[in-house]
Structure 1
Amino acid sequence: MQLEPIADSNLEQASLAILNPHLYGLDDAHLVKFESVLLHQNAANAFAKMREAAQRQGIDIAICSAYRSFDKQLSIWNAKATGNRPLLDKQHQPLHFESLSAQQIIDSILIWSALPGASRHHWGTDIDVYDPSKINRDGLQLVAAEYQANGPCHALYQWLLQHAHQFGFYFPFQQGKSGVSTEEWHLSYFPVASHYTEAFLCADLFKVFEYANFELKSPVMARLDELVNHYVKFVASVPI
Protein backbone atom coordinates (compact mmCIF):
# COMPACT_ATOMS: atom_id res chain seq x y z
CA MET A 1 0.00 0.00 0.00
CA GLN A 2 1.11 3.63 -0.57
CA LEU A 3 2.10 5.37 2.66
CA GLU A 4 2.12 9.09 3.39
CA PRO A 5 5.44 10.93 3.17
CA ILE A 6 6.77 12.07 6.53
CA ALA A 7 7.93 15.68 7.01
CA ASP A 8 9.63 17.20 10.03
CA SER A 9 7.39 17.83 13.03
CA ASN A 10 7.34 21.09 14.98
CA LEU A 11 6.71 19.73 18.45
CA GLU A 12 7.97 22.87 20.18
CA GLN A 13 5.07 24.78 18.66
CA ALA A 14 2.74 21.93 19.58
CA SER A 15 3.76 22.12 23.23
CA LEU A 16 3.02 25.87 23.27
CA ALA A 17 -0.42 25.35 21.78
CA ILE A 18 -1.81 23.29 24.67
CA LEU A 19 -2.18 23.64 28.44
CA ASN A 20 -0.62 20.35 29.61
CA PRO A 21 2.10 19.24 27.16
CA HIS A 22 3.35 16.63 29.64
CA LEU A 23 0.17 14.59 29.08
CA TYR A 24 1.13 14.10 25.44
CA GLY A 25 4.83 13.27 25.83
CA LEU A 26 6.08 16.74 24.94
CA ASP A 27 7.59 17.68 28.32
CA ASP A 28 9.41 15.66 30.99
CA ALA A 29 10.11 18.50 33.44
CA HIS A 30 7.61 16.96 35.91
CA LEU A 31 9.67 13.76 36.17
CA VAL A 32 12.70 12.67 38.20
CA LYS A 33 15.53 10.29 37.38
CA PHE A 34 14.95 6.95 39.08
CA GLU A 35 17.90 4.66 38.42
CA SER A 36 17.93 4.33 34.62
CA VAL A 37 14.42 5.68 33.89
CA LEU A 38 12.31 8.80 34.36
CA LEU A 39 9.26 8.63 36.65
CA HIS A 40 6.86 10.88 38.47
CA GLN A 41 8.34 11.45 41.93
CA ASN A 42 5.40 9.86 43.75
CA ALA A 43 5.44 6.83 41.45
CA ALA A 44 9.19 6.42 41.97
CA ASN A 45 8.81 6.53 45.76
CA ALA A 46 5.95 4.04 45.68
CA PHE A 47 7.82 1.67 43.38
CA ALA A 48 10.87 1.67 45.64
CA LYS A 49 8.70 0.71 48.62
CA MET A 50 6.89 -1.96 46.61
CA ARG A 51 10.15 -3.47 45.39
CA GLU A 52 11.49 -3.64 48.93
CA ALA A 53 8.34 -5.38 50.14
CA ALA A 54 8.51 -7.88 47.28
CA GLN A 55 12.17 -8.64 47.93
CA ARG A 56 11.36 -9.48 51.55
CA GLN A 57 9.06 -12.17 50.17
CA GLY A 58 11.57 -13.50 47.64
CA ILE A 59 10.19 -11.65 44.60
CA ASP A 60 12.38 -9.51 42.36
CA ILE A 61 10.88 -6.62 40.39
CA ALA A 62 12.66 -4.59 37.73
CA ILE A 63 11.42 -1.92 35.33
CA CYS A 64 11.99 -2.57 31.64
CA SER A 65 10.08 0.46 30.38
CA ALA A 66 8.85 3.67 32.00
CA TYR A 67 8.62 7.18 30.55
CA ARG A 68 8.59 7.52 26.77
CA SER A 69 8.65 10.80 24.93
CA PHE A 70 6.35 11.66 22.03
CA ASP A 71 9.29 11.11 19.67
CA LYS A 72 9.98 7.65 21.07
CA GLN A 73 6.35 6.61 20.70
CA LEU A 74 6.36 8.12 17.23
CA SER A 75 9.30 5.91 16.22
CA ILE A 76 7.47 2.80 17.47
CA TRP A 77 4.33 3.83 15.59
CA ASN A 78 6.13 4.58 12.32
CA ALA A 79 8.08 1.32 12.42
CA LYS A 80 4.86 -0.64 12.74
CA ALA A 81 2.95 1.52 10.27
CA THR A 82 5.56 0.87 7.57
CA GLY A 83 5.94 -2.85 8.20
CA ASN A 84 9.45 -2.46 9.60
CA ARG A 85 8.33 -3.86 12.93
CA PRO A 86 5.94 -6.82 13.14
CA LEU A 87 2.24 -6.46 13.83
CA LEU A 88 0.71 -9.04 16.17
CA ASP A 89 -2.88 -10.02 16.80
CA LYS A 90 -4.37 -10.42 20.29
CA GLN A 91 -2.90 -13.93 20.50
CA HIS A 92 0.57 -12.54 19.68
CA GLN A 93 0.47 -14.14 16.23
CA PRO A 94 2.03 -12.20 13.33
CA LEU A 95 -0.22 -10.43 10.83
CA HIS A 96 0.50 -10.14 7.10
CA PHE A 97 1.21 -6.43 6.70
CA GLU A 98 0.79 -6.24 2.93
CA SER A 99 -2.75 -7.60 3.10
CA LEU A 100 -4.01 -4.91 5.48
CA SER A 101 -5.75 -1.65 4.62
CA ALA A 102 -4.70 1.62 6.28
CA GLN A 103 -7.49 1.35 8.84
CA GLN A 104 -6.65 -2.29 9.54
CA ILE A 105 -3.01 -1.32 10.13
CA ILE A 106 -4.12 1.36 12.60
CA ASP A 107 -6.34 -1.09 14.47
CA SER A 108 -3.61 -3.73 14.49
CA ILE A 109 -0.97 -1.37 15.88
CA LEU A 110 -3.33 -0.25 18.63
CA ILE A 111 -3.74 -3.79 19.92
CA TRP A 112 -0.32 -3.48 21.58
CA SER A 113 1.02 0.05 20.96
CA ALA A 114 -0.42 3.50 21.63
CA LEU A 115 -0.67 6.45 19.31
CA PRO A 116 2.16 8.94 19.75
CA GLY A 117 0.83 11.45 22.24
CA ALA A 118 -1.69 8.97 23.65
CA SER A 119 0.53 6.58 25.60
CA ARG A 120 0.27 6.33 29.38
CA HIS A 121 4.05 5.94 29.30
CA HIS A 122 4.23 9.68 28.52
CA TRP A 123 3.09 10.45 32.06
CA GLY A 124 5.85 8.90 34.16
CA THR A 125 3.17 7.03 36.11
CA ASP A 126 3.22 3.78 34.15
CA ILE A 127 5.85 1.06 34.04
CA ASP A 128 6.41 -2.33 32.46
CA VAL A 129 7.90 -4.76 34.96
CA TYR A 130 9.51 -8.20 34.97
CA ASP A 131 11.44 -10.57 37.25
CA PRO A 132 15.17 -10.15 36.47
CA SER A 133 16.07 -13.22 38.53
CA LYS A 134 14.02 -15.43 36.21
CA ILE A 135 14.55 -13.89 32.78
CA ASN A 136 17.18 -11.66 31.20
CA ARG A 137 16.01 -8.29 29.94
CA ASP A 138 17.30 -9.09 26.45
CA GLY A 139 15.21 -12.26 26.36
CA LEU A 140 12.03 -10.60 27.57
CA GLN A 141 9.25 -10.34 24.98
CA LEU A 142 6.44 -8.89 27.12
CA VAL A 143 3.91 -11.51 26.10
CA ALA A 144 1.22 -13.13 28.23
CA ALA A 145 2.96 -16.52 28.35
CA GLU A 146 5.83 -15.02 30.35
CA TYR A 147 3.41 -14.01 33.13
CA GLN A 148 1.06 -16.97 33.10
CA ALA A 149 1.52 -20.39 34.73
CA ASN A 150 5.01 -21.82 34.06
CA GLY A 151 6.23 -18.46 32.76
CA PRO A 152 9.32 -16.82 34.29
CA CYS A 153 7.32 -13.85 35.62
CA HIS A 154 4.30 -15.80 36.88
CA ALA A 155 5.21 -15.57 40.59
CA LEU A 156 5.83 -11.85 40.21
CA TYR A 157 2.44 -11.35 38.53
CA GLN A 158 0.65 -13.29 41.26
CA TRP A 159 2.39 -11.20 43.92
CA LEU A 160 1.43 -7.98 42.17
CA LEU A 161 -2.20 -9.06 41.90
CA GLN A 162 -2.27 -9.37 45.68
CA HIS A 163 -0.06 -6.48 46.75
CA ALA A 164 0.43 -3.80 44.07
CA HIS A 165 -2.66 -1.86 45.18
CA GLN A 166 -1.14 -1.45 48.65
CA PHE A 167 1.44 0.84 47.04
CA GLY A 168 -0.93 2.67 44.71
CA PHE A 169 -0.26 0.58 41.60
CA TYR A 170 -2.80 -1.32 39.54
CA PHE A 171 -3.27 -2.94 36.13
CA PRO A 172 -5.01 -0.40 33.85
CA PHE A 173 -5.41 -2.85 30.97
CA GLN A 174 -7.77 -5.58 32.09
CA GLN A 175 -9.93 -7.96 30.09
CA GLY A 176 -13.25 -6.31 29.25
CA LYS A 177 -12.36 -3.16 31.18
CA SER A 178 -10.06 -1.42 28.71
CA GLY A 179 -9.64 -0.81 25.01
CA VAL A 180 -6.04 -2.01 25.11
CA SER A 181 -5.40 -5.75 25.29
CA THR A 182 -4.62 -7.19 28.72
CA GLU A 183 -1.01 -6.52 29.73
CA GLU A 184 0.13 -8.45 32.78
CA TRP A 185 3.40 -6.49 32.82
CA HIS A 186 1.94 -2.96 32.76
CA LEU A 187 1.42 -1.18 36.09
CA SER A 188 0.05 2.31 36.62
CA TYR A 189 0.40 4.55 39.66
CA PHE A 190 -3.29 5.22 40.21
CA PRO A 191 -3.20 8.33 42.48
CA VAL A 192 -1.61 10.41 39.71
CA ALA A 193 -2.58 8.51 36.53
CA SER A 194 -6.29 8.69 37.34
CA HIS A 195 -6.11 12.49 37.31
CA TYR A 196 -4.07 12.49 34.12
CA THR A 197 -6.66 10.27 32.43
CA GLU A 198 -9.38 12.77 33.30
CA ALA A 199 -7.28 15.75 32.18
CA PHE A 200 -6.36 14.20 28.81
CA LEU A 201 -8.21 16.07 26.04
CA CYS A 202 -8.83 14.82 22.53
CA ALA A 203 -8.90 18.46 21.36
CA ASP A 204 -5.36 19.01 22.65
CA LEU A 205 -4.09 15.82 21.04
CA PHE A 206 -5.66 17.04 17.79
CA LYS A 207 -3.67 20.29 18.14
CA VAL A 208 -0.47 18.28 18.69
CA PHE A 209 -1.18 16.24 15.56
CA GLU A 210 -1.62 19.43 13.54
CA TYR A 211 2.08 20.14 14.19
CA ALA A 212 3.32 16.54 14.12
CA ASN A 213 3.84 14.29 11.15
CA PHE A 214 3.68 10.52 11.18
CA GLU A 215 2.58 7.57 9.10
CA LEU A 216 -1.19 7.25 8.56
CA LYS A 217 -1.79 10.69 10.06
CA SER A 218 -4.87 11.53 7.98
CA PRO A 219 -6.86 8.35 8.70
CA VAL A 220 -5.88 8.57 12.37
CA MET A 221 -7.08 12.16 12.70
CA ALA A 222 -10.35 11.30 10.99
CA ARG A 223 -11.05 8.81 13.82
CA LEU A 224 -9.36 10.63 16.68
CA ASP A 225 -12.41 11.05 18.96
CA GLU A 226 -13.18 7.35 18.66
CA LEU A 227 -9.58 6.30 19.23
CA VAL A 228 -9.09 8.49 22.31
CA ASN A 229 -12.35 7.34 23.88
CA HIS A 230 -11.50 3.68 23.31
CA TYR A 231 -7.76 3.55 23.93
CA VAL A 232 -7.13 6.39 26.40
CA LYS A 233 -10.34 7.00 28.34
CA PHE A 234 -11.55 3.37 28.45
CA VAL A 235 -9.28 1.85 31.10
CA ALA A 236 -9.92 -0.03 34.31
CA SER A 237 -10.82 2.53 36.98
CA VAL A 238 -10.05 0.46 40.07
CA PRO A 239 -7.54 -2.26 40.99
CA ILE A 240 -8.37 -5.91 40.28
Structure 2
Amino acid sequence: MLNFAELTGQTQTHLQPVPSEQHSLQADTAAAYQRLKQAASEQSINMNIASGFRSLERQLAIWNRKWRGELPLLDKTGSSLDVNSLTNREKLTAILHWSALPGASRHHWGTDLDIYDARGLADSDSSLQLIPAEYCDPKGPCYNLWVWLSEHAHEYGFFFPYARYQGGIAQEPWHLSYRPVANKLQQQLTVDALIELIRSLEIEGQSTILEHINDIYKNYINNICEDNGWTNTWCGSSSF
Protein backbone atom coordinates (compact mmCIF):
# COMPACT_ATOMS: atom_id res chain seq x y z
CA MET A 1 0.00 0.00 0.00
CA LEU A 2 1.10 3.57 -0.63
CA ASN A 3 0.62 6.63 1.51
CA PHE A 4 -1.61 9.44 0.20
CA ALA A 5 1.23 11.48 -1.28
CA GLU A 6 2.62 8.43 -3.13
CA LEU A 7 -0.82 7.34 -4.33
CA THR A 8 -1.51 10.72 -5.87
CA GLY A 9 1.88 11.37 -7.44
CA GLN A 10 3.08 14.02 -5.02
CA THR A 11 6.29 12.18 -4.11
CA GLN A 12 8.57 9.50 -5.54
CA THR A 13 9.49 7.67 -2.33
CA HIS A 14 7.82 4.47 -3.60
CA LEU A 15 9.91 4.30 -6.77
CA GLN A 16 13.22 2.93 -7.92
CA PRO A 17 15.12 3.53 -11.18
CA VAL A 18 14.76 0.90 -13.90
CA PRO A 19 18.19 -0.31 -15.04
CA SER A 20 19.17 0.84 -18.54
CA GLU A 21 16.09 3.08 -18.79
CA GLN A 22 15.59 6.70 -17.81
CA HIS A 23 12.40 5.93 -15.92
CA SER A 24 11.33 4.84 -12.45
CA LEU A 25 8.71 2.34 -11.32
CA GLN A 26 7.37 0.90 -8.08
CA ALA A 27 9.84 -1.74 -6.86
CA ASP A 28 7.83 -4.92 -7.55
CA THR A 29 6.73 -3.53 -10.91
CA ALA A 30 10.31 -2.69 -11.88
CA ALA A 31 11.45 -6.24 -11.14
CA ALA A 32 8.57 -7.77 -13.10
CA TYR A 33 9.22 -5.41 -16.01
CA GLN A 34 12.85 -6.49 -16.16
CA ARG A 35 11.73 -10.12 -16.47
CA LEU A 36 9.23 -9.20 -19.16
CA LYS A 37 11.82 -7.15 -21.05
CA GLN A 38 14.33 -10.02 -20.97
CA ALA A 39 11.75 -12.49 -22.29
CA ALA A 40 10.85 -10.08 -25.11
CA SER A 41 14.52 -9.61 -26.03
CA GLU A 42 14.82 -13.37 -26.53
CA GLN A 43 12.24 -12.93 -29.29
CA SER A 44 14.25 -10.07 -30.88
CA ILE A 45 11.93 -7.44 -29.44
CA ASN A 46 13.69 -4.45 -27.88
CA MET A 47 11.01 -3.32 -25.44
CA ASN A 48 11.53 0.06 -23.80
CA ILE A 49 9.58 2.43 -21.58
CA ALA A 50 8.17 5.57 -23.18
CA SER A 51 6.59 6.74 -19.92
CA GLY A 52 6.71 5.31 -16.41
CA PHE A 53 6.01 7.32 -13.29
CA ARG A 54 4.28 10.62 -13.94
CA SER A 55 4.06 13.21 -11.18
CA LEU A 56 0.98 15.06 -10.02
CA GLU A 57 2.71 18.31 -10.92
CA ARG A 58 3.21 17.21 -14.53
CA GLN A 59 -0.33 15.83 -14.87
CA LEU A 60 -1.74 19.03 -13.41
CA ALA A 61 0.21 21.17 -15.86
CA ILE A 62 -1.11 19.15 -18.79
CA TRP A 63 -4.67 19.37 -17.49
CA ASN A 64 -4.59 23.12 -16.91
CA ARG A 65 -3.08 23.85 -20.31
CA LYS A 66 -5.71 21.74 -22.03
CA TRP A 67 -8.52 23.41 -20.10
CA ARG A 68 -7.22 26.84 -21.07
CA GLY A 69 -6.80 25.82 -24.71
CA GLU A 70 -3.01 26.09 -24.63
CA LEU A 71 -2.70 22.45 -25.71
CA PRO A 72 -4.86 20.84 -28.41
CA LEU A 73 -8.23 19.56 -27.27
CA LEU A 74 -9.40 16.59 -29.35
CA ASP A 75 -12.65 14.73 -29.86
CA LYS A 76 -12.84 10.93 -29.78
CA THR A 77 -11.74 10.65 -33.41
CA GLY A 78 -8.64 12.76 -32.79
CA SER A 79 -9.99 15.87 -34.52
CA SER A 80 -9.36 19.30 -32.99
CA LEU A 81 -12.05 21.00 -30.93
CA ASP A 82 -12.63 24.71 -30.39
CA VAL A 83 -12.27 25.03 -26.64
CA ASN A 84 -14.26 28.28 -26.64
CA SER A 85 -17.32 26.56 -28.13
CA LEU A 86 -17.56 23.89 -25.42
CA THR A 87 -19.48 23.87 -22.17
CA ASN A 88 -17.45 23.06 -19.07
CA ARG A 89 -18.98 19.57 -19.00
CA GLU A 90 -18.04 18.99 -22.66
CA LYS A 91 -14.54 20.26 -21.97
CA LEU A 92 -14.23 17.90 -19.00
CA THR A 93 -15.31 14.89 -21.08
CA ALA A 94 -12.97 15.78 -23.95
CA ILE A 95 -9.93 16.06 -21.69
CA LEU A 96 -10.70 12.89 -19.73
CA HIS A 97 -10.94 10.80 -22.91
CA TRP A 98 -7.22 11.37 -23.53
CA SER A 99 -5.75 12.49 -20.19
CA ALA A 100 -6.17 11.29 -16.62
CA LEU A 101 -7.48 13.52 -13.88
CA PRO A 102 -4.51 14.84 -11.86
CA GLY A 103 -4.15 12.67 -8.77
CA ALA A 104 -5.97 9.78 -10.44
CA SER A 105 -3.45 8.77 -13.08
CA ARG A 106 -2.31 5.15 -12.80
CA HIS A 107 1.14 6.46 -13.76
CA HIS A 108 1.34 8.10 -10.31
CA TRP A 109 1.51 4.66 -8.73
CA GLY A 110 4.62 3.49 -10.58
CA THR A 111 2.74 0.33 -11.58
CA ASP A 112 1.81 1.50 -15.06
CA LEU A 113 3.99 2.18 -18.06
CA ASP A 114 3.78 2.97 -21.75
CA ILE A 115 6.02 0.72 -23.81
CA TYR A 116 7.36 0.55 -27.38
CA ASP A 117 9.68 -1.54 -29.56
CA ALA A 118 12.88 0.41 -30.17
CA ARG A 119 14.03 -2.05 -32.82
CA GLY A 120 10.76 -1.73 -34.71
CA LEU A 121 10.99 2.04 -34.67
CA ALA A 122 14.59 1.97 -35.89
CA ASP A 123 13.71 -0.40 -38.73
CA SER A 124 10.80 1.81 -39.80
CA ASP A 125 12.82 5.02 -39.41
CA SER A 126 9.91 6.66 -37.59
CA SER A 127 9.38 8.48 -34.30
CA LEU A 128 7.01 7.22 -31.64
CA GLN A 129 3.56 8.84 -31.62
CA LEU A 130 1.71 6.46 -29.26
CA ILE A 131 -1.23 5.88 -31.56
CA PRO A 132 -3.07 2.53 -31.97
CA ALA A 133 -1.92 2.04 -35.57
CA GLU A 134 1.70 1.71 -34.43
CA TYR A 135 0.67 -1.40 -32.48
CA CYS A 136 -2.43 -2.72 -34.26
CA ASP A 137 -1.44 -2.40 -37.91
CA PRO A 138 0.68 -5.36 -39.11
CA LYS A 139 2.94 -2.77 -40.75
CA GLY A 140 3.23 -0.73 -37.54
CA PRO A 141 6.66 -0.49 -35.85
CA CYS A 142 5.36 -1.95 -32.57
CA TYR A 143 3.08 -4.62 -34.02
CA ASN A 144 5.41 -7.53 -33.20
CA LEU A 145 5.67 -6.27 -29.64
CA TRP A 146 1.91 -6.10 -29.32
CA VAL A 147 1.40 -9.61 -30.73
CA TRP A 148 3.96 -11.03 -28.30
CA LEU A 149 2.54 -9.15 -25.32
CA SER A 150 -0.99 -10.25 -26.16
CA GLU A 151 0.17 -13.81 -25.56
CA HIS A 152 2.71 -13.42 -22.77
CA ALA A 153 2.28 -10.21 -20.74
CA HIS A 154 -0.10 -11.87 -18.27
CA GLU A 155 2.54 -14.52 -17.51
CA TYR A 156 4.59 -11.77 -15.86
CA GLY A 157 1.69 -10.17 -14.00
CA PHE A 158 0.87 -7.42 -16.51
CA PHE A 159 -2.44 -6.55 -18.12
CA PHE A 160 -3.84 -3.85 -20.40
CA PRO A 161 -6.29 -1.55 -18.56
CA TYR A 162 -7.17 0.30 -21.76
CA ALA A 163 -7.04 -2.61 -24.21
CA ARG A 164 -10.24 -1.36 -25.83
CA TYR A 165 -12.52 1.64 -25.53
CA GLN A 166 -15.38 1.06 -23.09
CA GLY A 167 -16.88 4.51 -22.77
CA GLY A 168 -14.11 6.12 -20.73
CA ILE A 169 -10.44 6.55 -21.62
CA ALA A 170 -9.37 5.99 -25.22
CA GLN A 171 -7.84 2.69 -26.31
CA GLU A 172 -4.13 2.48 -25.42
CA PRO A 173 -2.48 -0.73 -26.67
CA TRP A 174 0.86 0.56 -25.34
CA HIS A 175 -0.27 0.85 -21.70
CA LEU A 176 0.75 -1.97 -19.36
CA SER A 177 -0.21 -2.28 -15.70
CA TYR A 178 1.29 -4.58 -13.07
CA ARG A 179 -1.84 -6.24 -11.70
CA PRO A 180 -0.60 -7.59 -8.30
CA VAL A 181 0.10 -4.06 -7.04
CA ALA A 182 -2.14 -1.88 -9.23
CA ASN A 183 -5.36 -3.65 -8.27
CA LYS A 184 -4.74 -2.93 -4.59
CA LEU A 185 -3.94 0.72 -5.27
CA GLN A 186 -7.04 1.16 -7.40
CA GLN A 187 -9.12 0.11 -4.40
CA GLN A 188 -7.13 2.46 -2.18
CA LEU A 189 -7.94 5.48 -4.37
CA THR A 190 -11.43 6.42 -3.16
CA VAL A 191 -13.83 9.16 -4.21
CA ASP A 192 -13.37 10.90 -0.84
CA ALA A 193 -9.59 10.91 -1.31
CA LEU A 194 -9.97 12.48 -4.75
CA ILE A 195 -12.34 15.14 -3.48
CA GLU A 196 -9.85 16.06 -0.75
CA LEU A 197 -7.06 16.33 -3.30
CA ILE A 198 -8.96 18.28 -5.98
CA ARG A 199 -10.08 20.83 -3.40
CA SER A 200 -6.44 21.41 -2.46
CA LEU A 201 -5.19 21.97 -6.01
CA GLU A 202 -5.05 25.03 -8.22
CA ILE A 203 -6.77 23.11 -10.98
CA GLU A 204 -8.77 24.56 -13.86
CA GLY A 205 -12.42 23.51 -13.86
CA GLN A 206 -12.33 22.60 -10.19
CA SER A 207 -16.05 23.17 -9.56
CA THR A 208 -17.02 21.15 -12.64
CA ILE A 209 -14.72 18.30 -11.60
CA LEU A 210 -16.19 18.17 -8.12
CA GLU A 211 -19.75 18.35 -9.47
CA HIS A 212 -19.13 15.28 -11.63
CA ILE A 213 -16.60 13.44 -9.45
CA ASN A 214 -18.76 10.33 -9.01
CA ASP A 215 -19.19 9.98 -12.77
CA ILE A 216 -15.46 10.54 -13.30
CA TYR A 217 -14.65 7.86 -10.73
CA LYS A 218 -17.02 5.35 -12.32
CA ASN A 219 -16.25 5.96 -16.00
CA TYR A 220 -12.61 7.10 -16.08
CA ILE A 221 -10.94 5.53 -13.03
CA ASN A 222 -12.66 2.22 -12.29
CA ASN A 223 -13.73 1.59 -15.89
CA ILE A 224 -10.83 -0.60 -17.03
CA CYS A 225 -10.47 -3.83 -18.98
CA GLU A 226 -10.21 -6.69 -16.51
CA ASP A 227 -9.25 -9.44 -18.97
CA ASN A 228 -6.21 -11.54 -18.11
CA GLY A 229 -4.87 -11.01 -21.61
CA TRP A 230 -6.41 -9.77 -24.80
CA THR A 231 -7.10 -11.13 -28.26
CA ASN A 232 -6.07 -9.73 -31.61
CA THR A 233 -9.65 -8.71 -32.31
CA TRP A 234 -9.46 -6.10 -29.55
CA CYS A 235 -6.70 -4.05 -31.09
CA GLY A 236 -7.87 -1.61 -33.70
CA SER A 237 -11.40 -1.50 -32.31
CA SER A 238 -13.28 1.77 -32.56
CA SER A 239 -12.53 4.38 -29.95
CA PHE A 240 -15.93 6.06 -30.23
* Common fold: TM-score over 0.5: yes
C-alpha RMSD of the superposition: 1.9
Hey, what's the Cα distance between the residues in 2 that align with 1:97 and 1:234? 26
1:4 counterpart residue number: none
Which consecutive segments of 4 or more residues in structure 1 shift more than 4 A? none
Q: Which residue of 1 aligns with 2:181?
A: 192
Could you tell me how far 1:42 is from its partner in structure 2?
Answer: 0.9
Equivalent residues of 2:117, 2:141 under 8 A apart: yes
Counterpart for residue 210 of structure 1: 199
Alpha-carbon offset, residue 21 of structure 1: 2.5
Looking at structure 2, the residues matched to 131 and 92 of structure 1 have their Cα atoms a distance apart, in angstroms, of: 23
1:22 aligns with 2:10: no
**What whole-Å deviation, never above 9, does each CA across 1:77-116 have from its counterpart, x for those lacking one?**
1121111111222222222323212111110011110010
Matching residue's letter, 2:108: H
- Cα displacement (A) at 1:181: 1.6
In structure 2, how many angstroms separate the alpha carbons of the residues matched to 1:146 and 1:108?
23
Contact 2:59 2:101 in 1 (8 A): yes
Q: Counterpart of 1:115 in 2: which secondary structure?
A: coil
Per the TM alignment, residue 145 of structure 1 is displaced from its structure 2 partner at its CA by 1.3
Residue deviations 1:137-193 (CA, integer Å, cap 9, x gap): 982111111112221111111111111111111101132557212100100000000
Residue 172 of structure 1 corresponds to which residue in structure 2?
161
| Conserved 8 A contact 1:147-1:184 | yes
Is 1:155 matched up with 2:139?
Answer: no
The secondary structure found in structure 1 opposite 2:163 is coil
Give, in whole Å, the separation in 2 of the partners of 1:176 and 1:68.
22
3-state DSSP class of the match of 1:228? helix
Any gaps of 5 or more consecutive residues in structure 2? 231-240
Letter in 1 for 2:202: N
The CA distance in 2 between the partners of 1:47 and 1:153, in whole Å, is 17
Partner of 2:237: none
Aligned residue for 2:81? 95
- 2:132 corresponds to which residue? 144
SS of residue matched to 1:63: strand
Q: Which moved more, 1:30-39 or 1:137-146?
A: 137-146
TM-score w.r.t. the length of structure 2 is: 0.87
SS in 1 for 2:41: helix
What residue identity is the alignment partner of 2:129?
Q
Residue 120 (structure 1) aligns with? 106
Judging changes above 3 Å, is the alpha-carbon distance between structure 1 residues 21 and 238 closer, same or farther for their aligned structure 2 residues? farther
- State the partner residue of 1:233: 222
Which residue in the other structure is 1:78 paired with? 64
Secondary structure in 2 matching 1:139: coil
- Partners in 2 of 1:138 and 1:23 — Cα distance? 35
1:69 aligned partner: 55
Structure of higher RCO (CA pairs closer than 8 Å, 6+ residues apart): 1
Which residue matches 1:6? none
Q: 1:178/1:101 Cα in 2 relative to 1: closer, same or farther (>3 Å)?
A: closer
Deviation string for 1:200-232 (max 9, x for gaps)? Answer: 111011111121111111111111111012111
Q: Does the 8 Å contact 2:116/2:142 carry over to 1?
A: yes
> How many pairs were matched up?
223
Which range is displaced more, 180-189 or 79-88?
Answer: 79-88
Structure 1 unpaired stretches of 5+: 1-17
Aligned partner of 2:170 among 175, 178, 181: 181
What does residue 209 of structure 2 align with?
220
Give yes or no for contact 1:92–1:143 (8 Å, CA) kept in 2: no
Corresponding residue for residue 34 of structure 2: 48
Contact kept, 8 Å, 1:172 with 1:178, in 2: the verdict is no
Instruction: State whether residues 178 and 235 of structure 1, in contact with CA within 8 Å, keep that contact through their aligned partners in structure 2.
Output: no
User: What secondary structure is seen at the aligned counterpart in 2 of 1:166?
Assistant: helix
SS of the residue corresponding to residue 120 of structure 2 reads coil
